Amino acid sequence: MIKVGIVVQRYGKEVVGGAETLVRDVAERLNASGFDVTVFTTTARNYITWENEFKPGNFILKGVNIKRFRVEKERDINAFNKFSEIFFNQEPKERDEEKWIREQGPYSPELIEGIHQAQHDFDIFLFFTYLYYPTIEGIKQVKKPVVLFPTAHDEAPIYLNLMKDVFKRPDALFFLTGAEMNFVKRTFSPPNRMELIRSGMDIKEGIDENLFKKNYLQFAPYILYAGRIEKGKGLELVFEAYQQIKKKRLIDFVLMGKKLMDIPEINGLKYVGFVSEEEKLSAFKGALLSIQPSPLESLSITTLESFSQKTPVLVNKKSEVLREHIDISGGGLAYDNVDEFFQHFYGIYDKRKTAKIMGQKGYDYVKKYYSWDVVMEKIRKQLESIISNVQETPQL
């Protein structure tokens, strides 16, 4: 039996996040297919503060072994943001990169020591997300074969000098999109294998589009945004556009997810908070279209969820990942500014047959590339190949 160690900053059924959801899905499916899986993680649940909310120690969740280690220092996000602003305005040679990584967190030396002590009990380690302390420090401790799911995109931290070693060390890099793989290849020219794995998703059929409408008294046609509502997600442009659209068309704008910024008071704009999984998919299915306005995406599960319910998506053209989804699938349109947003919105609103064709193309795309059977077969074969072919790497 192949023993797999997985390292990630947060883990648990209560943990919300794209990368963290991917980790849980991969861990549970590997375990169910005969691998012996142990997750090394922290006691943090909230990525803003890294507060110790889970108990430290050993646990089991859906057959997966979990080893949780305490975070030594919680994060004051306002202080960290101020520190980061100063840090990234400095000349690269003047920056204390190690300090920035510790402040970014989750800072857990106990976790790093736990990986070091237990590594010889495992055949291979999977690290998820390049950005955080557990990956950057943990990857140095492992002599066994290492796979990194970087979930990378073009952002300031990826250009830190210490990231060169993070992307050089793994025996393999697994990518969620071709855009991510091409970006990492251009930026680092990693010496070892790179594989386009993508991410799996459960494509649920027979979702009742009226469930969300009934539960939330949604009678008018609507646009949907699902995800964290925070600055940096590109929502400001969408709010500006919607304010004008509302004057010309009967359309509501529904937002769901965690609210981390103020939402403007606009007639027809509705914030519903968190909803059940079934209600979320029902909302996608019943929407005229969904919006993914973030310029920085490593995958965008919500875009794939929208496709899975045959609903077209308007995406931010600045994101290579989102453009890739649209270009390959034909399941939506990409905008670069407010005028282009208007053009694409009216093109879908006024031509419902066009929207239906786009929705079907999006659905066909996720069925072909993102079903879990396809993705897990790739992962299993790659792990077996790496273990059989890679010699133990000397400790760095």
Residues 78-135: pLDDT tens digits? 999 999 999 999 999 999 999 999 999 999 999 999 999 999 999 999 999 999 999 9
| Cα separation, 40 vs 375, whole angstroms | 23
| Cα separation, 332 vs 4, whole angstroms | 38
| Cα separation, 49 vs 294, whole angstroms | 22
pLDDT at 191 over 60: yes
What are the φ/ψ torsions at residue 183 (nearest 5 degrees)?
-65, -45
| Cα separation, 240 vs 295, whole angstroms | 17
pLDDT for 301: 87
- Report CA 252 to chain centroid distance, whole Å: 27
| Cα separation, 14 vs 37, whole angstroms | 19
CB atoms closer than 10 angstroms to residue 31: 19
pLDDT at 231 over 80: yes
State mean pLDDT over 189-206.
Answer: 92
State mean pLDDT over 32-37.
Answer: 96
| Cα separation, 148 vs 165, whole angstroms | 12
Helix, strand, or coil here: 385? helix
pLDDT at 368 over 70: yes
Helix, strand, or coil here: 128? strand
User: CATH number of the domain at 210-369, out of 3.40.50.2000, 3.20.20.220, 3.40.605.10, 3.30.310.50?
Assistant: 3.40.50.2000
pLDDT for 304: 94
Sheet containing strand 146-149, edge to edge, reads 57-61, 64-69, 36-42, 3-7, 124-128, 146-149, 172-175, 193-196
pLDDT for 395: 47
Closest CA to 261 of 236, 230, 293: 230
The distance between the two most distant Cα atoms of the chain, rounded to a whole number of Å, is 65
* Overall size of the chain counted in residues: 396
Range(s) within the chain of domains with CATH label 3.40.50.2000? 3-200+371-389, 210-369
Q: Which CATH class is domain 3-200+371-389?
A: alpha beta
Confidence band for 271, pLDDT divided at 50, 70 and 90 = very high
pLDDT at 396 over 80: no
